[in-house]
Structure 1
Amino acid sequence: MNLLVFSAGVGFALVFALGCPNASTAGEPYPTPGAPSSRFEVRLDGVDVPVAAYKDIHYCHFRLDDAAEIEIVAKDGPVTKARIQPASRGLAAKIEGASVRFAVPAPMALVAQLDFREKLFLFADGPAERVPADALDIAKLGAVGDGETDNTVLLQTALDGLPEGGTLVIPAGHFRSGTLHLRSAMRLHLDAGALLQALDDHEAITPIPGATSYVGFLVGTDLENVSITGPGTIDGNGYVVRKAYEAALKIKKQPGRLLYLRDCENISIRDVTLRDSYSWNVQFLRTDHVEVEGIQILSDVRLSNHDGIDVVGCSHVRVEDAFVFCEDDGITPKAAEDREVSEDHLYRNLVIWAHKANGIRIGSESACRVMRNFRFENIDILNGANGIRLDTTEGAVYEDMTLRNIHIEDLLQHYDDRHERNRERRMIESQSHALVLYVDRTKESRPLGGIRRLTFEGLHWGDARYRARIDMRDALMQRLREEKTAPPVSDIVFRGCTVAGKPARTLEELGLRSSDNVLSTRVRLEP
């Protein structure tokens, strides 16, 4: 198979694979937007897979129909150690000189770390979705995918003119645009090799209506029945736009959102790659019946406040089979002040790399009455300052939550910085923790929140130097003791947990003290 690289704007390229995979190949390479990697080659059952360089990581996509052999070749010479993550997948690598081989049994997202080289992400995707026959192709409407042409007016006109339930297709190519406003009853589909990227002109990325301190690329408010699908890429051009805003306005930080949906219902985001936001990558605010599946989020970790997915004051949410590489918190349900209840969330089959924050964080925005009925299942946290953190500081009660089969691999405090030579990784706290449950009251006008009826079943972390912690400020704890207030943390169960590969037999082996009946009560460990 041959590779074709064609220019798509200054300093940019699209990498395409030409030809058809061999009859024996268990999948198909996808074109990946970006300059071709100078560090790695990847083959799927002997067929070349285009690898793109993005910032200081490299990645590729391919559809996987059946088990296949992956070969990675380091272009700069022999490999001595290969780590294929998540470790829970149990993928053993065979090293021969500069070549690393291993089998992939099913669609999944993987991180390959070969010695101390830059990271390589491999996205083995499932079957592609079909597009309706009556879908509108933006290229046929006149859009130009040359990486330079401003297509904003054409794209917005096409979105506004879609019939109810219509689909707008972005084909392979490098299409530039300013801010786009989504509409109800629509689907935006990005074909393999499609790149929708924000313009370099920062003024084309406009403030979000109703939240004007933030800028946004794809924005929607008061919508219903919206889908964004396909194996293509949405790129906010975040570093360029944010730095230009900060220079023009003489400010330290210009926050923004790559995808922002507020007061919406029936939202589906599937299979797309979202990269280079301004700060938070994806935000759902007071939005119900949300489905996110099979997406990849890639952040520029030089920019601060780069959360992965923020779910703020939402109910009936499902996030599955996603890969999140971000600078700040990975998956973070939060409260919205004008919504008393956030409930019924499912987060399942996720791979999270939170550069210097928390893999999973519930809070810290916690100004509501209750957040309840959350499930987190089959999640691999590859890196972060902390693994899991729940903090309620503004009155919310977190209750009836289950976290099952969670694997935490590396945390910031003891991670070898030779893996991160191009990045600043500063500890926010003095120590990294596998788990933190934290209760505080930041305003006397707020009630004291609580954390109750949580089950951790199959919580595993690989380094015994990391601990779990249940905590609050000493002054607040003393006040609870004097007032004989009911403990805010109660009925926490740990079942089938391990530390450094060994079953935890006592709470102390997790790093926890027995319940003190001031901060906590009925915290217990079960086999």
Structure 2
Amino acid sequence: MTKHAFFLIVIGSLLTRFSATAQTTPTYSWTNLPKIAQPTFRRDTTNIIAFGAKPDGVSLNTQAINKAISTCSQKGGGVVLVPAGIWLTGPIVLKSNVNLHLKKAATLLFTTDKNQYALVEGVYEGKRAARNQSPVSGTNLANVAITGQGILDGNGDVWRAVHKSQLTESQWKEKVESGGVLKDDGKTWYPSEQFKKASTENRSMLLAPGKTPQDFADMKDFLRPNLVVLTNCKKVLLEGVTFQNSPAWCLHPLMCQDLTLRNVTTKNPEYAHNGDGMDIESCKNFLIEGCTLDVGDDAICIKSGKDEEGRKRGMPTENGIIRNNTVYNGHGGFVVGSEMSGGARYLFVSNCTFMGTDKGLRFKSVRGRGGVVEHIYAKDIFMKNIAQEAIFFDMYYFVKFATDGERDERPVVNEGTPVFRNMRFENIVCTGAKKGIFVRGLPEMAIQTIAMANMVLETEKGVELVDASGIRLDNINLLSTSTKPVINVTNSSNLTFNNIQYPANTDVLFSIDGERSKAINVTNTDTSKARTKTEFTHGAVEKSLLLTTTK
């Protein structure tokens, strides 16, 4: 065989493999949404009372509940019934083919005795870490559910620190009188001296090579667990139940497939540090619908691992439907990042309401993460009283800028460079926010190819685009009260503004900043209502912007 013939065979083989892969990879759209398989269970019912559980709020039912779950699973599965009552318990471990069903007025109350929670290997922000055992956990399961109309309460207040500024005077007084210790400046309450020491010394919980969870026994109290952690499970259903008062994140499905969260409520106090509602990490095929969230951190959050560990895992969060949800309090209504190093793609967000969140649609990352976030679609999103930005992209998450306000602009692209691209948002209304749209990429990697259409944004400020490319705004009504400028562009290119509406007598409509700003097109927009149509600063030139307007 000649070298040329061998080369052709190899190329043919690669093309065949590529073609097969392309044919089996679905292309999703609003008319062809991902399909999520549902778990099924036998009708056999096991009552936890039959195993000695007592609903008196005093008796510790850990052994009885876990025995009921194990026995049910061993017999082929079915329903484990939690009747009305207060069931005090330690950690519960779920098993395959079991539906843990809480009747209305049933509360699983997790004990404040931290000795009941073993030190285990877990995950913290996408990295291996020592944690206390989660109140509810399950690993490598199939067909598993928590359903009903009851409550799972994590007793999170005994685990969390809290700052004085986050509480009223009466709440702070009650907290101090409950025990615990104060920071030396008297402004932070800690659950224990052990917690205070680990926190003030900024000790790490990450499991470095050669370390085991038991090596962290001297800081056990600091290692707050997530309320529900399900790892590498298939066909998972959480439905109808209220999950509240978590020590850290509320719901954390990790590397799960065919996941459904339906009509779930998650509640954490506003002051709950890391009190996320749902963190969907490296999961495939999932549905979040009809849920209500009122939490202390991000509400519905998409993650896929952090930095090198996340890239090595290489499992994007993908094929997700998020619809008909309501978020009250939270740092963001729908959030991607910042731990998104494995990527995220094909996510469909619709018919959601955000009432009083810090941000609405929130996308965040930073140099070093890597990962590609793409094919995110959102429509029919309604927001009210957003504290900061309605739509927010930022590649500088938790970066402290120099005192002169200038950013690190090293134009370096490597495996740690995050990419956000190819998204469409439409039919969005926001009444009340500090800023309507904020997009800030990296000089070396712009946030790119984002289309936004049919929006009414009643905000203090309109639009700010920094290091962005291929952004298109169509039919956007910017009812901004700060009219200088309505739209601010910095070092961005290939932008289209079509049919932009804004208040009459605006001081400045467009402010173009930076010598890298170019190819900015404005069409079908009446610029005559502005006192100043355009201004150019810091090296920006007039030819960077082309006005094809109605007046």
Q: TM-score range by the shorter chain?
A: 0.5 to 0.7
1:190 maps to which of 102, 116, 127: 102
**What is the aligned partner in structure 2 of residue 213 from structure 1?**
131
Q: Is 1:437–1:470's contact at 8 Å kept on the other side of the alignment? A: yes
**What is the aligned partner in structure 2 of residue 457 from structure 1?**
426
**CA deviation after TM superposition for structure 1 residue 377, in Å:** 0.5
SS of 1:280's equivalent in the other structure is coil
**What is the aligned partner in structure 1 of residue 292 from structure 2?**
323
Give the gaps of 5 or more residues in structure 1. 1-129, 413-431, 481-486
In the aligned structure 2, how far is the partner of 1:492 from the partner of 1:512? 19
**What is the aligned partner in structure 1 of residue 547 from structure 2?**
none
**CA deviation after TM superposition for structure 1 residue 165, in Å:** 2.5
> Are the structure 2 counterparts of residues 446 and 396 from structure 1 closer, same or farther at C-alpha, using a change threshold of 3 Å?
same
**CA deviation after TM superposition for structure 1 residue 504, in Å:** 7.9
In the aligned structure 2, how far is the partner of 1:525 from the partner of 1:450? 26
Question: What whole-Å deviation, never above 9, does each CA across 1:162-191 have from its counterpart, x for those lacking one?
Answer: 122221000001101001111112110001
**CA deviation after TM superposition for structure 1 residue 342, in Å:** 2.3
**What is the aligned partner in structure 2 of residue 232 from structure 1?**
150
2:378 maps to which of 390, 395, 403: 403
Q: Which AA in structure 2 matches 1:278? A: P
1:375 maps to which of 325, 344, 348: 348
1:148 maps to which of 58, 62, 67: 58
> Are the structure 2 counterparts of residues 186 and 509 from structure 1 closer, same or farther at C-alpha, using a change threshold of 3 Å?
same
Correspondence 1:389-400 to 2 at 5 A: 389-393=362-366, 394-400=369-375
**CA deviation after TM superposition for structure 1 residue 139, in Å:** 1.6
1:365 maps to which of 309, 332, 339: 339
1:178 maps to which of 68, 90, 93: 90
**CA deviation after TM superposition for structure 1 residue 339, in Å:** 2.4
Q: TM-score by structure 1 length? A: 0.64
Correspondence 1:285-300 to 2 at 5 A: 285-300=254-269
Question: What whole-Å deviation, never above 9, does each CA across 1:125-155 have from its counterpart, x for those lacking one?
Answer: xxxxx99753011123321000000011111
> Are the structure 2 counterparts of residues 396 and 178 from structure 1 closer, same or farther at C-alpha, using a change threshold of 3 Å?
same
**What is the aligned partner in structure 1 of residue 453 from structure 2?**
495
Correspondence 1:235-250 to 2 at 5 A: 235-242=153-160, 246-247=191-192, 249-250=194-195
Correspondence 1:392-431 to 2 at 5 A: 392-393=365-366, 394-412=369-387
Question: What whole-Å deviation, never above 9, does each CA across 1:407-436 have from its counterpart, x for those lacking one?
Answer: 111123xxxxxxxxxxxxxxxxxxx11111
Q: Which AA in structure 2 matches 1:213? A: R
In the aligned structure 2, how far is the partner of 1:448 from the partner of 1:437? 15
In the aligned structure 2, how far is the partner of 1:519 from the partner of 1:378? 31
Give the gaps of 5 or more residues in structure 2. 1-39, 124-129, 162-179, 181-189, 200-221, 400-411, 463-472, 501-551
1:435 maps to which of 374, 391, 394: 391
**CA deviation after TM superposition for structure 1 residue 259, in Å:** 0.6
> Are the structure 2 counterparts of residues 514 and 197 from structure 1 closer, same or farther at C-alpha, using a change threshold of 3 Å?
same
In the aligned structure 2, how far is the partner of 1:367 from the partner of 1:452? 14
> Are the structure 2 counterparts of residues 256 and 158 from structure 1 closer, same or farther at C-alpha, using a change threshold of 3 Å?
same
1:341 and 2:253 are equivalent in the alignment: no
**CA deviation after TM superposition for structure 1 residue 488, in Å:** 2.9
In the aligned structure 1, how far is the partner of 2:226 from the partner of 2:261? 17
Aligned residues: 365
Q: Mean alpha-carbon deviation: is it higher for 197-206 or for 323-332?
A: 197-206
**CA deviation after TM superposition for structure 1 residue 201, in Å:** 1.1
**CA deviation after TM superposition for structure 1 residue 399, in Å:** 1.1
The structure with the larger Rg is 2
**What is the aligned partner in structure 1 of residue 4 from structure 2?**
none
1:138 and 2:111 are equivalent in the alignment: no
Correspondence 1:242-321 to 2 at 5 A: 242=160, 246-247=191-192, 249-251=194-196, 252=199, 253-321=222-290
1:385 maps to which of 358, 361, 375: 358
**What is the aligned partner in structure 1 of residue 67 from structure 2?**
157
Q: Is 2:389–2:436's contact at 8 Å kept on the other side of the alignment? A: yes
> Are the structure 2 counterparts of residues 197 and 467 from structure 1 closer, same or farther at C-alpha, using a change threshold of 3 Å?
same
Q: Is 2:453–2:476's contact at 8 Å kept on the other side of the alignment? A: no
* Greater helix content: 2
Q: TM-score by structure 2 length? A: 0.61
Q: Percent of aligned pairs with the same residue?
A: 22
Q: Is 2:341–2:372's contact at 8 Å kept on the other side of the alignment? A: no
> Are the structure 2 counterparts of residues 525 and 224 from structure 1 closer, same or farther at C-alpha, using a change threshold of 3 Å?
farther
Q: Is 1:224–1:267's contact at 8 Å kept on the other side of the alignment? A: yes
Q: Is 1:490–1:521's contact at 8 Å kept on the other side of the alignment? A: no
* Greater strand content: 1
**CA deviation after TM superposition for structure 1 residue 263, in Å:** 1.4
